[in-house]
Amino acid sequence: MLRLVSFIVLLFVLIIGIYFGLLNADPVSVNYYFGAYEMPLSLLLVATLLTGALLGAVASIGIIFRMRKRISNLKREVSKQERELENNQTLVQSR
């Protein structure tokens, strides 16, 4: 059932995207430092969206690696504390 709903949603998004592309097929001129290029508006919008998503992903990589390292350090600390607790419980029980 979930696959069917996912397929219907994907199909809906695809149809909306195609319709959006057809509505915005007018060419626009993109001027940049080294020249100009003419492309359909819908393609320009999709390219801009993908570029922004890629830059966001690259910007978050540093944070992700820092958090993974912190999680690893905290897991190691918890393991160390658990071993110490077990040792203390063993000492208390042996008295």
- Confidence band, pLDDT 50/70/90 cuts, at residue 4: very high
The per-residue pLDDT for 66 is 95
Q: How many domains does the chain contain in total?
A: 1
Distances (CA, A) of 83 to 20, 70, 80, 89: 60, 20, 5, 10
Task: Report, as an integer, the average pLDDT of 4-20.
Answer: 91
In the predicted structure, residue 95 carries a pLDDT above the cut 80: no
H/E stretch holding 29 reads: strand 27-32
The per-residue pLDDT for 25 is 83
The per-residue pLDDT for 90 is 86
The Cβ of residue 89 has, within 10 Å, a number of other Cβ atoms equal to 10
Q: Which domain holds residue 16?
A: 2-94
Q: Alpha-carbon distance 63 to 56, whole Å? A: 11
The per-residue pLDDT for 55 is 95
pLDDT digits (tens, 9 = 90+) for 20-40: 888 888 889 988 888 888 998
| 3-class secondary-structure state, position 81 | helix
pLDDT digits (tens, 9 = 90+) for 47-84: 899 999 999 999 999 999 999 999 999 999 999 999 99
